[in-house]
Chain A
Amino acid sequence: MALTENRKENGEKNGKKNGAETAAGPSRGGAVRWRTRPDPAARSRGGQRFLLLGLVLAGAYSLFPVYWLIIAATKDRVGLYQSNGLWFSDFHLWENLQQVFTYEDGIFLRWTANSFLYAGVGSLGGTLIALATGYGLARFDFPGRGVVFAAVVGSFLIPIALLTLPLYLMFSKIGLVDTPWAMLIPCLINPFSVYLAKVYTEATIPFELLEAARIDGAGELRIFFSIVLRMMTTGGATVFLLAFVNTWNAFFLPLTVLRGQENWTLNLGLYNWTGKRSESGIDLTSLVLTGALLSIIPMAIMMVAMRRYWRTGVTMGALK
């Protein structure tokens, strides 16, 4: 929390120096903007070259596996095993894609749709619940507020196995195992989203505004839906995005609560394919690799589209 304040101050200082984009800070749309503060005196030419070299090496390390994956997805089996791994050989991307989408009656498409369903609907519901809770915690003083907040923060420490196994047993008793609900329901309650929503509310929604709305006779629900939610668009988008990524990447929960492959997520399907290739006669390597590349694409699109917001989310998340 201290960091947010720090950053706020920096924003103001920066503004005095650079004039322009100042007051933007945390007040506009709720996002604490990323601000790079150059330190010009630190720059000697030799030193800069050394820093650049280090960064280029780290960048190459980060990007190399993705580069290789893109190349590998364009190769057929022969090319994958025999050609130079670092460069293209015959271009077979379209055949690979066709194979991925037709293998076992197009089960891959089903998994993609499932992943979108769980991540999309689950995160949307989860975000709405989190925004309401964050708003309640940040702007009302009710008995038990401290307990709720303590539960939110404390739950960050609970290991997934401790929750997932009993959840599986409970879900199997009420017949939810192996249905989409087994994935969707746990997504609705996300303490980390609540934490973020509380932080965003504190930065975005002034008490005075609520007072004014109340004096004008607006009901609490109306205030929440037509004022608070609208002002929290940016914060809400970040919460949604992070929840979406989390659900899209989830593995242990779907592995535990989803049995039949028609309800699986992309991750679960790909995991299953990696197991198959060493068991039976079929070689699924190029299928797995092309599928892996495909499953990154939605993440890449979301990350690029919402670059500004999610970066904020990641760093805000670090402030607990």
Chain B
Amino acid sequence: MIRSLRWKGAAFTVPFQLGFVFLYLLPIGYAIHQSLFLQKQSGLGLGGATTEFVGLENYQQGLTDSAFMTSILRVVLFACVQIPFMLLVSLVLALFLDAVTSKVAGRFRIMLLVPYMIPGVVAAIVWINLYSPEVGPLTPLGELFGFDWNFFDPSMVWPAIGNLLTWHGIGYNMVIIYSALQGVPRELFEAARLDGASELRIALSIKVPFVRGALVLTALLSIIQMLQIFNEPALFRNVTPETISDSFTPIMIIYNQAFNAANYHYAAALSVLLALMLGVASFLFYRLTSREAD
């Protein structure tokens, strides 16, 4: 390519590059910088606060902060249950859609995507009200079938949030898996049928392995989202503060440290830690699943 043309091409990306530096690189650098300092009260707290360089002290504190570690463990354990369940349902529905007539598939695809287009905050508001013993229909419905459930009970909070996330996420994941399914060469099915394979067998032995890539991708995206979960617990906390503490998820702790405790330095260290863990988790997951594929 001609030299001058190259630079003209590069010029098209300049606004983005400038913005990226200002809105991504600078904040990350600033967060890392902030995480190395700590506000300390001098004297008896009368002399005002001074900011001191403390090195990795904030990180040390974060790694031994039982509330932070508990919140991460809580979210990880929850992810281990909710994500496989949601992806399994999405996969089954995608397989169902793949096997019905295109007209039927089109209709149901839209129906299943309705929850996805609803803003997360609104979705949480709706489900919280559905769960509510005063307003929602689920409590009387449960009584009808002999269940005496209270969704705001500490033991029910995760299933309640899990159902909300599953409801919200099925459509999107299904679409991704379904579009991967559409790429399977139909000739493979013909051949398998001639060999006497059942439809179930075809689904399990041909279709599912074929969409492995899509499954890995949806799982990775879900893990990233789950470690950062904030909206849903924040809204639940608005209604049942006694069930959901303000240190329920990692991001809730970070937000509280920054805005309620005004401890930006510690909050910055925690968000860097969370980013590192997220990177490690994604990397491990990717390595594990891609090794399996070989």
Contacts and interface: CB of A to CB of B under 8 A. Distances in A.
Interface stretch (A21-29, A88-96, A102-110, A158-166): A158-166
B12 A135 contact: yes
Nearest to A168: B258
A159 B167 contact: no
Given A163-B28, A220-B8, A267-B119, A252 B231 contact: yes
B47 interface: no
A251 B9 contact: no
Contacts of A130: 16
Contact of B101 (A38, A68, A140): A38
Contacts of A230: none
B169 to A, nearest CB: 11
Q: Is the interface of B mostly helix, strand, loop or mixed?
A: helix
A199 interface: no
Contacts of A271: 121, 234-235, 238
A243 interface: no
Contacts of B31: 162, 165-166
B172 interface: yes
Interface residues of A, number: 102
A52 B189 CA distance: 21
Contact of A36 (B7, B30, B105, B111): B105
Given A66-B118, A133-B15, A162 B272 contact: yes
A146 interface: no
Interface string A264-282: 0001001100110010000
Given A63-B111, A132-B16, A194-B16, A167 B27 contact: yes
Contacts of A194: 16
Interface string A215-252: 00000100010000000000000000000010011011
B108 A270 contact: no
Contact of A311 (B8, B175, B189): B175
Nearest to B108: A55
Contacts of B110: 307
Interface in B227-276: 227-228, 230-231, 234-235, 238-239, 241, 250-251, 254-255, 258-259, 264, 267-268, 271-272, 274-275
A37 B9 contact: no
A133 B16 contact: yes
Given A251-B230, A311-B175, A170 B27 contact: yes
Given A62-B167, A142-B7, A299-B118, A68 B126 contact: yes
Given A39-B189, A170-B27, A3 B180 contact: yes
The A interface, classified by DSSP as helix, strand, loop or mixed, is: helix
Given A143-B6, A161-B255, A274-B235, A318 B176 contact: yes
19 contacts: A10-B183, A39-B186, A42-B189, A55-B104, A58-B93, A62-B114, A66-B115, A68-B130, A132-B12, A159-B278, A160-B228, A167-B23, A189-B19, A194-B16, A245-B117, A288-B125, A295-B119, A295-B122, A296-B119
Interface of B: 1, 5-13, 15-17, 19-20, 22-24, 26-28, 30-31, 34, 89, 92-93, 96-102, 104-106, 108, 110-112, 114-115, 117-123, 125-130, 134-137, 140, 167, 170-172, 175-176, 179-180, 182-183, 186, 189-190, 193, 199, 202, 213-214, 217-218, 224, 227-228, 230-231, 234-235, 238-239, 241, 250-251, 254-255, 258-259, 264, 267-268, 271-272, 274-275, 278-279, 282
Interface of A: 2-3, 6-7, 10, 34-39, 41-44, 47-48, 51-52, 54-55, 58-59, 61-63, 65-66, 68-69, 72, 80-81, 84-86, 129-130, 132-133, 135-137, 139-145, 148, 151, 155-163, 165-170, 185-186, 188-189, 191, 194, 220, 224, 245, 248-249, 251-252, 256, 267, 270-271, 274-275, 278, 285, 288-289, 292, 295-296, 299-300, 303, 307, 311, 314-315, 318, 320
